[in-house]
Amino acid sequence: MIPIVYDQINGWGKDDDFFLSLLKEINAKRIADLGCGTGRLTIHFAQKGYQITAIDPNQEAINSAKRKEFADKVTWIVGDSGDLKPEAYDVVIMTANVAQVFLTGGAGGK
């Protein structure tokens, strides 16, 4: 993944509005963003006041995310679903292309 390209081609969309409305509807406070990538949506959640943990297996993506404004409001983890802490979150979200990992057998399509 090339983080700068990812951020440029993945702007705000209807699915992002959906996730925000869903979090509000269920009154979630503590969120894990599994497959957070470059933190595009993660950072927005942090700005809205959610307590958020962001997990992604791609070190380059996490490094890019950590350079963004408000990144200090997020707990960043290089890892995968095995790094989720039991009962630590109200909700775990997976957005955008994360489901492809399940179809290809892992990060990078291995």
pLDDT tens-place string over residues 42-73: 999 999 999 999 999 989 999 999 999 999 99
Token pair, residue 9, equals: 């081609």
Q: For the chain, what is the total number of helices (H) and then of strands (E)? A: 5, 4
Domain boundaries, given as residue ranges, for the chain: 28-97
Q: Give the up-direction half-sphere exposure of residue 6: CA atoms within 13 A in the CB hemisphere.
A: 17
CB 8 within 8 A of CB 73: no
**Which CATH superfamily includes the segment(s) 28-97?**
Vaccinia Virus protein VP39 (3.40.50.150)
CB atoms within 10 A of CB 18: 11
Predicted model pTM: 0.78
